[in-house]
Chains A and B, each alone.
Chain A
Amino acid sequence: MKITVSINLGGYSFNIDEDAYAELKRYLRNLELHFAGEESSSEILSDIETRMAEIFRARLTSFKQVINIDDVQQAISVMGTPEDISDNGGKTTREKFSTPGYHRMYRDPDNRIIGGVCAGMGAYWDIEPLIIRIIFIALVLAGGIGALIYLILYIVLPEARSTAQKIEMKGDPVNIHNIKDAVKKEFDTVRKNMKL
């Protein structure tokens, strides 16, 4: 027995297995990221959803009323993954896909002790935040200028909230692959914490 989810895809209603739903949602989300820079991206996505609804409908019979993971994978192979759609002929897709890698300094809320300023600087220059913290503490002890600098940086630097910002903070190019990696890493951390 499996739990199913009810979805509206391209104006049709489908019952879809839970795992198939997760796969479909991930796929559509990736497409959304892929077309994000495009004018009328929502129109492209809705055309694709309509087409997928058609593919699903062709696979349903009176004996098979629920969309399963095979149907979703089959539909994805027909429509193509974002990598297939950009059609750069294999290997080089990953590089061609990425937007020029922005590298900006943010406050890092995940590794913060006070405001995430030192953690953010550490992530930006790829050095241990501890070293920066020691420098700041030394500056605070040597006349208090460190506290002022910290306060200014806290105000000036934005906090890295979204996944894309966290990737920018570390200087990796923002593309679907490392957003996926980053989200997965975050998910694993949450899961580990819950087990403990």
Chain B
Amino acid sequence: MDLENTKAQMRKGILEYCILSVLSRNSCYASDIIKELKEAEVIVVEGTLYPLLTRQKNAGLLSYRWEESQQGPPRKYYELTDSGRNYLADLDNSWQELVESVNRIRTS
């Protein structure tokens, strides 16, 4: 068994959920999302985020709009779509169940 690998797999599983949760509060620019995920230590390198955002956008969970920025070219601001919100609500439930199940196993 490889501890680093196990940790990486855990991170990978919850990353998608974390991105949607960050976006559920307000629409964000990719760098804002990265900052939060880095602080929470669920992401190691920024490059991981971009393919996930694009996949979620293609799946109709996110949409983006271009916004002017003072420091240069326009930026992509991502936000949840309605189907993204439903998806997130489902994930919220299963996360809750998962935490409870794991806790039950650990304490029994």
Q: What residues of chain A have their CB less than 8 Å away from a CB belonging to chain B?
A: 10-12, 31, 35, 38-40, 43-44, 47-48, 50-51, 53-54, 57, 77-82, 84-85, 87-92
- Min C-beta distance of A45 to chain B, whole Å: 8
Q: Which of B1-60 contact A (CB under 8 A)?
A: 2, 4-9, 11-12, 30-31, 44-48, 50-51, 53-55, 58
Nearest 3 CB-CB pairs, A to B? A80-B45, A89-B5, A89-B8
Q: What residues of chain B have their CB less than 8 Å away from a CB belonging to chain A?
A: 2, 4-9, 11-12, 30-31, 44-48, 50-51, 53-55, 58, 71-73, 76
**Given A35-B51, A90-B5, residue A79 in contact with residue B73 (CB < 8 A):** no
Q: Is the CB of B11 within 8 A of A87?
A: yes
* Chain A residues within an 8 Å CB radius of B47: 31, 48, 79-80, 82, 84-85
What are 18 A-B pairs with beta-carbon distances under 8 A?
Answer: A10-B73, A11-B72, A38-B51, A47-B54, A51-B31, A51-B50, A53-B72, A57-B72, A77-B45, A78-B46, A80-B45, A84-B44, A87-B8, A89-B2, A89-B6, A90-B8, A91-B5, A92-B2
- Min C-beta distance of A87 to chain B, whole Å: 5
* Chain B residues within an 8 Å CB radius of A87: 8, 11-12, 44-45, 48
* Chain A residues within an 8 Å CB radius of B50: 44, 47-48, 51
Q: Is the CB of B8 within 8 A of A88?
A: yes
**Given A31-B47, A48-B47, A80-B46, residue A90 in contact with residue B72 (CB < 8 A):** no
CA distance A77 to B46 in the complex (A): 9
Q: Is the CB of A50 within 8 A of B51?
A: no
CA distance A31 to B51 in the complex (A): 11
CA distance A12 to B72 in the complex (A): 8
* Chain A residues within an 8 Å CB radius of B31: 51, 54
**Total residue contacts A-B, CB cutoff 8 A:** 78
- Min C-beta distance of B9 to chain A, whole Å: 7
* Chain A residues within an 8 Å CB radius of B46: 51, 78-80
Q: Is the CB of A12 within 8 A of B30?
A: no
- Min C-beta distance of B49 to chain A, whole Å: 9
Q: Is the CB of A89 within 8 A of B4?
A: yes
Smallest CB-CB separation from B11: which chain A residue? A87
CA distance A25 to B13 in the complex (A): 31
CA distance A44 to B47 in the complex (A): 9
**Given A47-B50, A54-B72, residue A85 in contact with residue B45 (CB < 8 A):** yes
* Chain B residues within an 8 Å CB radius of A51: 30-31, 46, 50
CA distance A88 to B5 in the complex (A): 6
Smallest CB-CB separation from B45: which chain A residue? A80
